[in-house]
Amino acid sequence: MRPSKLKKYLSKLYIQVLIGILAGILVGHFHPDIGADLKPLGDLFIKLIRMALAPIIFASVVVGIARMSDLHEAGRVGVKALLYFEAASTIALLVGLVVVNVIKPGSGMNIDPAHLDSSAIAGYAHAAHDHTALGFLMSIVPNSIVGAFANGEILPIIFFSVLFAIALAKLGPRTAPLVDMLDMFLQGMFGVVRIVMYVAPVGAFGGMAFTVAKYGLGTLASFGELMLCLYVTSIVFVAVVLGLVMRVCGFSLWKYLRYIRDEILITFGTASTEAVLPQMLVKMENLGCSRPVVGMVLPTGYTFNADGTAIYLTMAALFVAQAMNIHLSLLDQLVVLGVLLLTSKGSAGVAGAGFVALAATLASMHKIPVTGLVLLLGVDRFLNEARAVTNLIGNGVATIVVARWEGAMDVERARAVLNGEVEIEIGEASGTGDMSLPCGEPVSGSSGLVENRL
């Protein structure tokens, strides 16, 4: 490969992130003392992204809804999104339930619950105590909007943003200058994210080095069957279920995955979907989905549409039961499924969200000891990568589904983007957000700052 081609190849973000991930694995395995000290690199990258997350969500939702010609459209989009979220989550839970019953990754471990040290999960058990349906509903309304922004609480921010946008829309044309100003502010925040993304490979390197150094590759071997089970199930879910959904929408799943490959690798390296939410907002809008749909569906999906987490929760709950030789009848498993449909929602922004939801489920069942979560502590960080990537892909697909369902998607543009026929220009977009094809013909239906490499 010629030096010029090699330089161009290495300049691609997904290649840099992949190199960072591989380097992190090597450092964490061969120099665990160094790898354990690299955790701040991954944490710093996540903090840099979270710094911009709240204002981006706020501005995206407000600008999108305020510019709708009919407020009924916002309500219609919200209902359609929730219907799809519930259907996708239910299918994900069922897929996890079937696979864990067939493969039985916990069978033969013969764990005695009395010999487990529950102190390691005390924090999760305490958080699970407040993880109720009423607690979730109460958490939607913030005690203070300033506090919600300061703490980066996604759902309360969305709730306030929707109310504020509806208020602006009802005031009529006189609010246009404020909406335009928020739009310009949003473009500036996307510019901040583009700057931050230059350190994404370093963040992925630090996060992976710490994970391998702390838990070791030996942990992978000890729980290899459970990990293989989850990773393969997640891949099958994405390829078959989401692939079928994309086909119904008229698009290729593979081309979509290639389009968001940067975000997939960053999510895998950092085990955080929050790290790529700003870029996903831009990319989905660039794909041809209307701004109101993107602004409402994508952030909300982080709370209500965690397909990867749903697969993990059913598999983890039954894995613990199998490891402790606890027999669960079909009715018991259906009860677990029903409880998970509730506890799997509303955990966005909570540290160890999957663990909290799982602890809440086991605590409400009274059949599987919550102390069984100790079995998952060592391998959870590795499992988190699979579910985070699946969540990311699923939320992007959900945005496409709702946009197509609502008739708010430029299908021709989407196909052109996925086929690589649209040349995205870096720089400020015009007021209408038009961008150019290679031939120079303007393409409407999208707005905001967009580029081919965030």
Contact between residue 142 and residue 148 where contact means Cβ atoms under 8 Å apart: yes
With respect to residue 255, please indicate whether it lies within any of the assigned structural domains. yes
Domain that holds residue 84: 3-443
With respect to residue 392, please indicate whether it lies within any of the assigned structural domains. yes
Predicted confidence at residue 89, as pLDDT, reads 87
Find the CATH number of the domain harbouring 36: 1.10.3860.10
Q: How many domains does the chain have?
A: 1
Cβ count within 10 A of residue 420: 11
Report the C-alpha gap between 308 and 89 in whole angstroms: 9
pLDDT in tens, 345-403: 655 444 456 666 777 777 766 677 777 777 777 677 778 888 889 999 999 999 999 99
Predicted confidence at residue 237, as pLDDT, reads 93
Predicted confidence at residue 193, as pLDDT, reads 84
Contact between residue 426 and residue 274 where contact means Cβ atoms under 8 Å apart: no
With respect to residue 449, please indicate whether it lies within any of the assigned structural domains. no
Closest-CA residue to 383 (of 236, 216, 223, 262): 223
Predicted confidence at residue 127, as pLDDT, reads 52
Please give the chain's pLDDT, 454 residues, in tens: 566 777 776 777 778 888 888 898 899 888 888 888 888 888 888 888 888 888 888 888 888 777 776 667 777 888 898 899 989 988 998 998 888 888 888 777 677 666 555 554 555 555 545 555 566 677 778 888 888 888 877 778 888 888 898 888 888 788 888 988 998 898 888 888 888 888 888 888 888 888 788 766 665 665 778 888 889 899 999 999 999 999 999 999 999 999 999 899 888 888 778 888 888 988 998 999 988 888 888 888 877 788 888 888 888 888 888 888 888 888 888 888 877 776 666 554 444 566 667 777 777 666 777 777 777 776 777 788 888 899 999 999 999 999 999 888 999 999 999 988 775 543 333 333 333 333 333 333 333 333 333 3
pLDDT in tens, 335-356: 888 777 766 665 544 445 666 6
Predicted confidence at residue 442, as pLDDT, reads 36
Predicted confidence at residue 454, as pLDDT, reads 37
With respect to residue 454, please indicate whether it lies within any of the assigned structural domains. no
If phi over 0 gives left and psi between -120 and 50 gives alpha, with beta otherwise, what is residue 250? left
With respect to residue 174, please indicate whether it lies within any of the assigned structural domains. yes
With respect to residue 448, please indicate whether it lies within any of the assigned structural domains. no
With respect to residue 451, please indicate whether it lies within any of the assigned structural domains. no
- Buried-exposed string 251-272: b where 16+ CB fall within 10 A, e elsewhere: bebeebbebbbbbbbbbbbbbb
